[in-house]
Amino acid sequence: MSASSASAEPPPDGGPVSAAAATPPDGDPAARAPESCPRLDALPARELAGGLRVAEAHSRAARMKGLAKLDDMPRTTALHIPRCRSVHTFTMRFPLDLIWLDKAGQVVRVDADVPPRRLKSCLRARSVIEARGGTAAAFLAAGLS
């Protein structure tokens, strides 16, 4: 067994894996992002190029729950909240990229890496797409509109 594969397994005594062992070999914390999110996967979505997915929060319950209290979210998934000009990140545990869209669905502004405990508004917007911090460029390149 190689040293790299041994570090990802729990210790023989059943104790927790250390943070160092949980860090990917390249040391990039973004590489630890989950590959799926049951809350977002349950919502209707549209697929974009490159395997990106935009979940649609059309119901009141989906809008109210949003991304609140998630530990993290996949780099390949974002949440579209229609009829929204203002969001808060008070219960967030990671930064968000906010992509603001006008009535026609065209991008009017991008707020990158908005940290937790913030309030952001865009009066020109009619909806917002919330993506994991650092991923807005990938969604825009995939043809998001």
Which among 54, 115, 114 is positioned nearest to 81, based on CA atoms?
54
Radius of gyration for the alpha carbons in the chain, expressed in angstroms and rounded: 17
Mean pLDDT of 41-62: 92
* Of 34 and 69, more confident: 69
d(CA 104, CA 135) in angstroms, rounded, equals: 22
Locus of tokens 């935009």: 54
Beta strands at 127-132 and 96-101: parallel, antiparallel or unpaired: antiparallel
SS3 109: strand
Average pLDDT, the chain: 81
pLDDT band at 81 (very low <50, low <70, confident <90, very high): very high
All domains in the chain, ordered by first residue: 1-32 (no CATH), 34-141 (2.60.120.1140)
Q: Are strands 53-56 and 45-47 parallel, antiparallel or unpaired?
A: antiparallel
Residue 99, beta-bridge partner list: 110, 129
How much is the pLDDT for 32? 52
DSSP line for 2-61: -HHHHHHSPPTT-PPPPHHHHS-TT--GGGG--S--HHHHTS-EEE-GGG-EEEE--SHH
What confidence score (pLDDT) does residue 75 get? 94
Show the tokens assigned to 102. 């006008």
Strands 127-132 and 45-47: unpaired
**Residue 18 confidence (pLDDT):** 34
Contact 132, 72 (CB under 8 A): yes
Length reported for the chain: 145
